[in-house]
Amino acid sequence: MFGGSPINRPLREWRGCRVWIVGASSGIGAALARNLALRGARLALSARREAALQEVAADCLDARVDPMDVTRPEDFSRVRDALLAAWGGLDLVVFNAGTYRPLRAWELTPERIRETLVPNLLGPLDGLAAVLPALLAQGKGAVLLMGSVAGYGGLPRATVYGPTKAALINLAETLYLDLAPRGVSVFLVNPGFVATPLTAGNDFPMPALMDVDEAAQAIVAGLGRGDFEIHFPKRFTALVKALRALPRRLYFSLIRRVTGL
């Protein structure tokens, strides 16, 4: 009934593809930039740290550096205008910027809430508001939202981070319903544990930890298949997904036992 055709238009031909990566200075964003550069993509690299972006760009054949701050909506508009002027359009916009701060419920403050909420959720929303008119006018293109397995269900220490990622999962689903009929693909990436500067400070076991190059390869493979949700490593993410089907009492008991919190 539902067939086996890709849910999105597969992205396989990268030579000359115009890709804007927001959050490209380190971690998964930087690894994805390097991976796509080897495939011939034209890249725009954005983040706050210009020096770090220049280091990534030096490893890429065709990459420009467009520093910006995702907490400033006007920065999205500024870089968008520069890219449209230079390239004439966009083929893929990757919203990878974000932050993580472990917080328990009793550690919440307005400042700590906004420290995570603004870059993780409001930033992508502001970015979408900036680029979607251009993509819809083209009648083609794609956006990618960087979620997390932390968005699948409640976890200790993810009191703000988890809800922002859960919201991005919901947002991606909603976007797909609006945009796919108008030619714009929506991709959602939900990684498990990946060795990045954000996870380096974790003081707990991280099952099935991947390096950033493996993560980038998994993303590119998922884009090539036209997947809506790209999640990895499957042996871990499939387990976390399965936990959500359990009765709440059992879910809470297992999470406490596994995390020790």
- pLDDT given at position 1: 41
CA dihedral 188→194→197→200, nearest 10 degrees, is 140
CA dihedral 9→10→14→18, nearest 10 degrees, is 30
CA distance 88 to 90: 7
CA distance 231 to 227: 10
CA distance 233 to 218: 8
Q: Tens digits of per-residue pLDDT, 231-258?
A: 999 888 998 899 989 999 999 999 888 7
Q: Identify residue 234 by its one-letter amino acid code.
A: K
Tokens of 138: 């083209």
- pLDDT given at position 205: 60
- pLDDT given at position 236: 86
Q: Which residues are catalytic?
A: 161
- DSSP-assigned beta bridge partners for residue 232: 191
SS3 call for 158:
strand
Count helices and strands in the chain by DSSP H and E runs: 9, 7
Radius of gyration from C-alpha coordinates of the chain: 18
Sketch the domain layout of the chain as residue ranges.
18-259
pTM reported for the whole predicted model:
0.93
Tokens of 58: 């030096």
- What single DSSP character describes residue 119? I
- pLDDT given at position 84: 98
Domain covering 18-259, topology = Rossmann fold (3.40.50)
Query: What distance lies between CA 202 and its chain's CA centroid?
Result: 20
Average pLDDT of the chain to the nearest whole number: 93
Q: Where are the alpha helices (DSSP H) in 7-160?
A: 27-38, 50-58, 73-87, 110-117, 123-138
Cα distances (angstroms) measured from residue 147 to each of 103, 169, 191, 248: 18, 6, 7, 23
- Ranges of residues in the chain whose predicted pLDDT is under 70: 1-3, 193-208
- pLDDT given at position 83: 98
Closest C-alpha to 30, from 234, 197, 227, 225: 197
Burial degree of 140 (CB within 10 A; 0-12, 13-18, 19+): middle
Q: Identify residue 235 by its one-letter amino acid code.
A: R
